[in-house]
């Protein structure tokens, strides 16, 4: 298989009935990349982001869902191990 062809099993397809979800997903992903990529992030920041954006009354619910999912996708896009650090112990989660 040529290197530039991706195995179809590596692709996640999200079928959407309108542009709101897709637009939100793209914006959420871009916001994550511009604001957080390559940095550390606290659980409080993640919680605050999700809580503030999932029910943002300024936008449609479908946009909000896509936005949060796009942001979370940005967080996990490289399938890097995640280190969740507690005061005493560390837990490594691998994708």
In tens digits, the chain (95 residues) has pLDDT values of 445 555 556 677 888 888 899 999 999 999 999 998 888 888 899 999 999 999 999 999 999 999 999 999 998 887 655 555 544 444 455 55
pLDDT at 6: 52
pLDDT at 38: 85
pLDDT at 77: 81
Burial 72-85 (b: 16+ CB within 10 A, else e): bebbeeeeeeeeee
Q: Domain map of the chain by residue range?
A: 18-93
């Amino acid at each position: 298989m040529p290197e530039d062809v991706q195995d179809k099993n590596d692709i996640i397809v999200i079928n959407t009935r309108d542009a709101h979800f897709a637009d939100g997903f793209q914006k959420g992903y871009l916001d994550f990349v511009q604001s957080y990529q390559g940095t550390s992030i606290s659980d409080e920041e993640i919680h605050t982001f999700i809580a503030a954006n999932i029910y943002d009354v300024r936008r449609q619910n479908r946009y909000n869902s896509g936005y949060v999912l796009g942001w979370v996708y940005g967080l996990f896009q490289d399938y890097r191990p995640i280190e969740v650090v507690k005061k005493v112990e560390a837990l490594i989660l691998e994708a």
